[in-house]
Amino acid sequence: MLGAWRQAGVSQAQLAALLAYHLGVHLVLYRHQALGAGLLVLGLAIFARPLGRLLDHALVGSWRVLDAEAAAERAADPPGSFDRQPLVVLVTSAVVLTLIEYYGTRGVFIDLVDRYLPTLRQQRHWELYGYVYWSGFRLCAYGLLPWLALHLLLRPGARLRDCGLAWRGLTQHLWLYVALFVFILPPIVVASFTRPFQHTYPFYDLAARSWGDFLAWELLYGAQFFALELFFRGFMIHRLKRALGSHAIFVMALPYCMIHYNKPIAEVLGAVVAGSVLGTLSLRTRSIWCGWLIHVSVAVTMDLLSLLHKTGWPGNPQFVGS
């Protein structure tokens, strides 16, 4: 890790500036806003240029490698052949996202309950059942439909498990995701003080009612993140890479940004960056697993910070096991 920073021209002083940035966030967290904000600005100002060089070294270099690999694969095709894989992937993606938008929401579940099983509303965990539907629908749409498309519409040998589900080399690249999580944590902490953040997270309003509610919600949340990573950073970019090279990352980043439109604007804009970075790393490492880990880590952290501000958890004596 340090070697990559040195190759990008990051000096020890600039690393110290990055530490000052993180320290500034913690000072803001503990109500020392003036000093914390000063360290934030100072750290970012000093680290901005080497950060740009680091991203150029890590990302642009990766894109060149991916383009070269894709070009080599296409060169082996017979002259005049037609690759229908982009057509299948993009049409399937449009269908999947449309089904989720119209049929995969909790609102649809509530309408079904009111029409066919109104007594379900009387149960203690009936609101959690809505998230079981929400998470389960995404597991089917993001996972099952792409699997069917690969098996029914593409040539034999096109397998969903080749879309970033490999475990090999996972530990070798784990430090990249740890570094990303450490870097993104300070902005999350700062954002957690805002009303839009606290109003949005956790999605399940009763997550602080009991440990059972909290853990059940986070399991459902993590399951749908797996489905999301499999679809966007697995199915879309791994099956588009051969035809589009590194541009597959940005084709994926567009709908990935748009599925965040019901969230705070800072998170929507951040999804463009996060989607591009995680997409690049998924293609280079041929694995979605660490991307799933960082997604889950960030999501759970956001929920915990929101609960800390809203309910005083874990010091809230009402937050006990069910």
Contact, 281 vs 176, CB < 8 A?
Answer: yes
Same domain, 187 and 54: no
Q: What pLDDT is stored for residue 321 in this prediction?
A: 42
Residue 77: inside a domain: no
Residue 68: inside a domain: no
Domain hosting residue 192, numbered range = 82-311
Q: What pLDDT is stored for residue 257 in this prediction?
A: 93
Contact, 252 vs 233, CB < 8 A?
Answer: yes
Same domain, 162 and 295: yes
Query: Which range among 151-160, 175-184, 276-285 has the greatest average pLDDT?
Result: 276-285
Same domain, 35 and 115: no
Same domain, 220 and 280: yes
Same domain, 298 and 250: yes
Residue 67: inside a domain: no
Q: What pLDDT is stored for residue 262 in this prediction?
A: 81
Provide the token pair at 265.
């604007």
Cα dihedral 29, 33, 39, 41 in deg (nearest 10): 110
Q: Report the C-alpha gap between 268 and 54 in whole angstroms.
A: 24
Same domain, 138 and 251: yes
Q: What pLDDT is stored for residue 1 in this prediction?
A: 47
- Reported as a pLDDT band with limits 50, 70 and 90, residue 296 is very high
Q: What pLDDT is stored for residue 2 in this prediction?
A: 47
| Distance from the Cα of residue 221 to its chain's centroid | 12
Tens digit of each residue's pLDDT (9 = 90 or more) over 113-170: 999 999 999 999 999 999 999 999 999 999 999 988 888 877 656 676 778 888 776 7
What percent of the chain is helix, strand and coil (3-state, nearest 5)?
A: 80, 0, 20
Q: Which of 182, 173, 277 is nearest to 233 (CA)?
A: 277
Same domain, 17 and 107: no
Provide the token pair at 91.
């049409």
Q: pTM score, two decimals?
A: 0.80
Q: What pLDDT is stored for residue 320 in this prediction?
A: 44
Same domain, 56 and 115: no
Biggest CA–CA distance in the chain, Å, is 71
Instruction: Out of 100-114, 140-154, 306-320, pick the least confident.
Output: 306-320
Q: What pLDDT is stored for residue 8 in this prediction?
A: 47
Task: Report whether pLDDT(43) > 90.
Answer: no
Same domain, 30 and 123: no
Same domain, 128 and 258: yes
Tens digit of each residue's pLDDT (9 = 90 or more) over 198-257: 888 899 999 988 889 999 999 999 999 999 999 999 999 999 999 999 999 999 999 999
The string of DSSP codes covering 87-114 is HHHHHHHHHHHHHHHHHSSHHHHHHHHH
Q: What pLDDT is stored for residue 37 in this prediction?
A: 56
How many structural domains is the chain composed of?
2
Same domain, 162 and 235: yes
Same domain, 171 and 44: no
